[in-house]
Amino acid sequence: MYKRIIPIAVLFSLIISASKAQENKTIDQAVPEHALTHAGEIVGRLRPVILNYGKTKPVLKFGLDITATKETLPEIITNVPVWKTRGKNNYYSVNEPALDVQQLVSILTAALQEQMTKLTALTMEVEQLKNEIDAAQNPTTKLK
């Protein structure tokens, strides 16, 4: 019995690894159309909100205002089915808008990189100004 299970398990693992390799190949072949610029401005237009889903006690969820997000980034809004109830054992499905968080991550990463670049430039400028002030106060030292 075990003699049959082991070859089947090996075959199954090879099929899974081959399919994952195919998935990775298509992801690696994707070519970006253009670099994501001005991500900080895009993130600045998004409006974070706190939603209260509780009826008797607060059940808080954090998210983004769908209307503002749809105006700014309509590509990351998707519709997902949500099951609701009308009384006992009477369920129905409703499509509600939701954020595609995977796409939002790249925008947030680009915005963070922009901010880090600005921070580095400002830090260097502050250091240079400190050196100039030190040089002006103590004329015997040279500017760096």
Tell me the three-class secondary structure of the chain, residue by residue. CHHHHHHHHHHHHHHHHHHHHHHHHHHHHCCCCCCCCCHHHHHHHCCEEEEECCCCCCCEEEEECHHHHHHHCHHHEEEEEEEEECCCCCEEEEEEEEECHHHHHHHHHHHHHHHHHHHHHHHHHHHHHHHHHHHHHCCCCCCC
- Residue 117 — pLDDT band, cuts 50, 70, 90? very high
The answer to whether position 23 is within a domain reads no
The answer to whether position 17 is within a domain reads no
The answer to whether position 28 is within a domain reads no
The answer to whether position 55 is within a domain reads yes
The answer to whether position 39 is within a domain reads yes
CA–CA separation, 72 vs 66, rounded Å? 10
CATH number of the domain within which 42 lies: 1.10.10.10
Going by DSSP bridges, is the β-strand pair 60-64/77-85 parallel, antiparallel, or unpaired? unpaired
* pTM confidence score: 0.58
Both tokens of 66, joined, read 């769908």
The answer to whether position 29 is within a domain reads no
- For a pLDDT cut of 90, what percent of the chain falls above it? 15
- Tokens 């980034």 — which residue? 73
Count: domains in the chain: 1
Q: What does the pLDDT average to over 57-65?
A: 82
- Which residue type sits at 94? V
The answer to whether position 97 is within a domain reads yes
The pLDDT of residue 27 is above 70: no
What domain range is 62 assigned to? 34-137
- Residue 50 — pLDDT band, cuts 50, 70, 90? confident
Q: What is the signed CA dihedral for 34, 35, 36, 41, rounded to 10 degrees?
A: -100
